[in-house]
Structure 1
Amino acid sequence: MKKDFLNSSTFKFLGNKFFIASVVFAAFILFFDENSISRHLKDRRKLSDLKEQKAYYKERIVIDKQKYRELNRGDAELEKFAREQYYMSKPDEDVFIIEEIED
């Protein structure tokens, strides 16, 4: 029985040095090379994250440009911004900050 397996064409094909070298080469390329499958998947994930960041920053740029245009409209807008964001007041005014507490 064992001799039949050793003499079969399947064993001869699997024992062929060119087949073995091809399998070792394919395994090296797929798993251990610089451009392996795991590296490719990792790079693809990173690219997806970078695309999300790009979309976020484009949105922020639009918002900041709009705010910049509002601040450059005049002194009234600049004063309004300073009062709302930094709680600035005139010398004869008091600022009261009311915070809502959520339950």
Structure 2
Amino acid sequence: MSLWKAILENLSINLQKPYICGEKIIVMKQLLLHKYRFYTLTFAGLFFWMLFFDINDIFTQIKMYRELGRLEDEKKYYIEKIKEVEKERIEVMGNKKLVEKFAREKYLMKKPKEEIFVIVDEENQPIEK
């Protein structure tokens, strides 16, 4: 125990010279710290570079994540709209009277020599939808 105590005291006092114990050279505390300090500083530098300065930094990732959520919601909305339009198309294409009704309501089409009056509310929206 006293040998290790002497080695540790010598390392803490004289960090510039290696301590020789018999034929073995004991690696000094400072050399180890320098070795690991290099890895630590390199890791910290790369971490902060990727966190703030890289093209895919944390702020860009957050913005893209929010945009992805918005686009997924938009995708759900359009899928529902496509289903509604397909349902209307199937209903309308089977009956000639329904085709005429659909064209008159949705596209305000009319027969020759016919006038169309659209009744709107205060917000300029048609009353019947």
Query: What TM-score do you get using the length of structure 2 for normalisation?
Result: 0.56
Residue equivalent to 2:70: 49
Deviation string 1:46-95 (CA, Å, 9 cap, x unpaired) is 11011111111111111110111122012110111122223334446543
Q: How many percent of aligned residue pairs carry the same amino acid?
A: 34
The number of aligned residues is 90
Residue equivalent to 2:108: 87
Counterpart residue identity of residue 77, structure 1: L
Counterparts of 1:94 and 1:17, CA distance in 2: 84
User: Which residue among 66, 82, 103 is the counterpart of 2:87?
Assistant: 66
Counterparts of 2:113 and 2:59, CA distance in 1: 66
What SS does the corresponding residue of 2:104 show, helix, strand or coil? Answer: helix
Aligned pair in 2 of structure 1 residues 27, 89: CA closer, same or farther (>3 Å)?
Answer: closer
Query: What TM-score do you get using the length of structure 1 for normalisation?
Result: 0.67
1:2-17 map, 5 Å: 16-17=37-38
Residue equivalent to 1:98: 119
Residue equivalent to 2:48: 27
Is there any run of 5+ residues in structure 1 with no aligned partner, and where?
1-11
Structure whose CA Rg is larger: 2
Deviation string 1:14-44 (CA, Å, 9 cap, x unpaired) is xx44443332222112212233212221221
Residue equivalent to 1:38: 59
Aligned pair in 2 of structure 1 residues 26, 72: CA closer, same or farther (>3 Å)?
Answer: same
More strand by percentage = 2
More helix by percentage = 1
Is there any run of 5+ residues in structure 2 with no aligned partner, and where?
1-32, 124-129
